Chains A and B, each alone.
Chain A
Amino acid sequence: MERSTIKQEINISESLMERINELLSHYPSDKKKSALLPVLHAVQDTHDHWLSVELMDKVAEILEIQPIEVYEVATFYTMYALKPRGKYPLEFCRTSCCMLRGAEDMMDYTCQKLGVKENQVTTDGMFSVHGVECLGACGYAPMLQLGDFNHEHLTKEKIDQLIEDCRAGKINLV
């Protein structure tokens, strides 16, 4: 696991702790570890969408498990980011059904427009472009995922509009 050199400010706010406690209440009191995946989502969503080692250590402390138990989970699942990404990570599905409907062209277009390669962050920190595997929107291809939401039936015009809306602060990620 690569340790990011970027420092992350850890802030377990009252509302986040409330959410964590709510998630913990879904499992028997001696099975706190079961809440790990949803808790990591909640923590990541409130920490610029990535998990530093320090943040994972904090999660371990809250769930009363060993840090390694958090690391091995965070490195296994693709939705946990271990280094900072763009404020708006554009995740293109590129598996067969989306590929058939032009996902590769859409992704190339976006990379070109933003002047980045796959997995790179734009210099202003606003966007990053990622290729991911099937997101379950095969009939609405091509598509991208941005935060909690899907943007489907993509065209170049729709991508232009989406990027403009992100820049104007009109897009919510959760």
Chain B
Amino acid sequence: MARKILLEKTGIEGIRSYEVYRKNGGYASVEKALKMTPDEIVEEVKKSGMRGRGGAGFPMGMKWSFIDKKSGKPRHLVCNADESEPGTFKDRYLMEHIPHLLIEGMIASSYALEANLSYIYIRGEYMWIFKILEKAIKEAYAAGWLGKNIQGSGYNLDLYVHCGAGAYICGEETALIESLEGKRGNPRMKPPFPAVSGLWAEPTVVNNVESISNVPWIILNSGDEYAKIGIGRSTGTKLISASGHCKNPGVYEIELGLSVDEFMNSDEYLGGMMDSRPLKALIPGGSSVPILPEHLIFKTANGEDRLMTYESLSDGGFATGSMLGSGGFIVYNDTACIVRNTWNFSRFYHHESCGQCSPCREGTGWMEKVLHRIETGHGTEADIELLWSIQSKIEGNTICPLGDAAAWPVAAAIRHFREEFEYHIRFPEKIKNRDHFVNEPMSRVRHLLQNQMV
């Protein structure tokens, strides 16, 4: 069995309740942390090499070290539990099954940042988890882990859970802060960074649920021990949420460095493909990251084994690689239509664009329309170039990364599956049914395209 840090105790009966959690060693990291100095904790997290688990992969200790402790303004830790990246449902799993782990991590991390008022921002659609967390926070207050003079240390912390209301963009940290201030989720220009001017213009650190949930283990076992897990700059374990056409969808904790092949095919993890149909494509890190065609999934372009690490998944850049992202692992078999899927994502990004920057506001809508046209048999050859042109003009031209996130899936789909777009355009009568690849997968109609080549 693989090593587990986050899911080690989720199997214990009643672990959701404070008593059981405490009896199984819960809150020990807070006891230890309160005897350390805040800077010592920051140092341990730095040494762990842990990279932010929300998707961007920025080193967490480094992010912590940027918080402005000199201005004397109140500081805040905000946990990003707005998990909305299609394919990602790992934070939900943690909060639902072991809510006190996040609260324990929030207390230890807030102490390290010398913050006295912290929030967990959870997406509105996770309302039942919002209530689980509210209850767990009440239990933690009652047991003296929150409030004034925690465990006699002199440290004060108030922690609350705040809910969003259905906006993907609020997973972007500055939009999340706006939303926490009771406003529309429009991302802010950076700089200033939240570490200097965040919530109510006060120094703020925003971290993902999974990142914060790793802190108790790091405090108890040291950053050096954490850094021993994993490979190279991909230290520790990672939660992967698997969905789509694999045999066993669900949430798995893996040691970074596991091969994609083993994760995909061993019975301990995904157990191969649903109904034993052939694998066609993979999105390894949530809808925003480039899709990989079958021949680039288990091996990189250089013929090396593809591993579940930040480095290996992005090996080859966007030409032949992808990203680990949020760990939203979406598996596609040969019945999936890449054009339909790309249209689906574009509709998502169009719906979720906050509307602040024109390239994203307009571009996502144009991409959705053009893709819908191709998918429904009304596309033209020029549409492929048009799509390429639109996506290239969104990327890099917006305040926040939603624009890039909308552009990348379109670019990657054209890059690796251009023939499917051509097939839709040249054989509109073949794709009238939305399940067009169920009976006639691309492998069986490819010859039609090849016969056309002169």
The answer for the CA separation of A23 and B84 in the assembled complex, in Å, is 24
- Verify B244–A133 contact, CB threshold 8 A: no
> Please, which residue of chain A has its CB at the minimum distance from the CB of B244?
A100
- Verify B249–A38 contact, CB threshold 8 A: no
- Size band of the interface chain B makes with A: 35 or more
Interface stretch of the complex, out of B157-165, B304-312, B440-448: B157-165
> Please, which residue of chain A has its CB at the minimum distance from the CB of B117?
A28
B243 within 8 A of A: yes
Interface centre among B125, B249, B250 (most CB of A within 10 A): B125
> Please, which residue of chain A has its CB at the minimum distance from the CB of B349?
A133
For A37, list chain B residues within 8 Å (CB): 124, 162-165, 179, 182
Q: Could you mark each residue 74-108 of chain A with 1 if its beta carbon is under 8 Å from any beta carbon of chain B, else 0? A: 00111110000000000000111101110010000
- Verify A133–B241 contact, CB threshold 8 A: no
Q: Taking A77-B167, A96-B345 as contacts, is the C-beta distance between A136 and B83 under 8 angstroms? A: yes
For B184, list chain A residues within 8 Å (CB): 72-73, 76
- Verify B348–A95 contact, CB threshold 8 A: yes
- Verify B244–A97 contact, CB threshold 8 A: yes
For A79, list chain B residues within 8 Å (CB): 124-125, 165-166
Q: Could you mark each residue 138-174 of chain A with 1 if its beta carbon is under 8 Å from any beta carbon of chain B, else 0? A: 1111000100111000000000000000000000001
For B9, list chain A residues within 8 Å (CB): none
B180 within 8 A of A: yes
> Please, which residue of chain A has its CB at the minimum distance from the CB of B86?
A134
Interface stretch of the complex, out of B87-95, B106-114, B139-147, B381-389: B87-95
- Verify B87–A41 contact, CB threshold 8 A: no
For B92, list chain A residues within 8 Å (CB): 136
The answer for the CA separation of A40 and B127 in the assembled complex, in Å, is 13
Interface centre among B166, B168, B200 (most CB of A within 10 A): B166
The answer for the CA separation of A136 and B407 in the assembled complex, in Å, is 22
Q: Which of B188-238 contact A (CB under 8 A)?
A: 200
- Verify B341–A34 contact, CB threshold 8 A: no
The answer for the CA separation of A79 and B244 in the assembled complex, in Å, is 26
For B434, list chain A residues within 8 Å (CB): 104
Known: A37-B179, A134-B84. 16 other contacts (CB 8 A): A26-B160, A28-B117, A31-B200, A38-B163, A65-B182, A73-B182, A73-B184, A95-B344, A96-B344, A96-B348, A133-B86, A134-B87, A135-B125, A136-B89, A140-B89, A145-B125
Q: Which residues of B contact A (CB under 8 A)?
A: 83-89, 92, 117, 123-128, 131, 160, 162-168, 179-185, 200, 241-245, 249-251, 287, 328, 330, 332, 336, 340-341, 344-345, 347-348, 351-352, 354, 434
Counting from the closest, the 6 A-B pairs by CB-CB distance are A77-B165, A36-B182, A138-B243, A139-B249, A78-B166, A79-B166
